[in-house]
Amino acid sequence: MVTRASRRSAPLDGPERRVHPRISASLPFAAQLDGRLVRIETDNLSEGGAYCRSEIRFPVMTRMDVSLELPVGAGREDVDSLVQLQAVVVRCEPHPATPGCWSLALYFPAPEPDVRERLARYVRARRAAVADDPSDTGLA
């Protein structure tokens, strides 16, 4: 019988265990919650999800349609830069440094193949840019 170790048992300073690499990125998201538009800002992004900040608390396991505009010239062809996909809130906690703000962990359960590829290409391009210029954090 084969068992898998819990992620929580791994040391915090160990190697990255996520399936998809993440990048620091401060990008606006638009989401719908109870029929109203909510703006969310990413702290980091991968093709599998995002860690974000919001002024609105989202219930965990909320499914929502989100829109994200990828910056032009960020490892993508000259096409419409708006990415639309479904996200699930897997964690929502008070932001540690900003009162009245929430930290959200979003999971992208099944992005369309072209959307997943665009996200992956953007992440690869940002990682390459940071490798070339470590002062380029992607937060501009």
Q: What is the pTM of this model?
A: 0.74
Structure tokens at 48: 């599998």
Alpha-carbon gap, residue 15 to 43, rounded angstroms: 20
Report, in angstroms and rounded to the nearest whole number, the Rg of the chain calculated over CA atoms: 16
Phi then psi dihedrals of residue 34, to 5 deg: 50, 40
pLDDT digits (tens, 9 = 90+) for 60-104: 999 999 998 887 654 444 455 788 999 999 999 999 888 889 999
- Domains of the chain, CATH where assigned: 19-132 (2.40.10.220)
Name the residue among 32, 39, 134, 139 with its Cα closest to residue 87: 32
What's phi and psi for 113, nearest 5 deg? -55, -40
Kindly state the DSSP code that residue 70 receives in the 8-state scheme: P
Q: What would the mean pLDDT of 42-47 be, rounded to a whole number?
A: 90
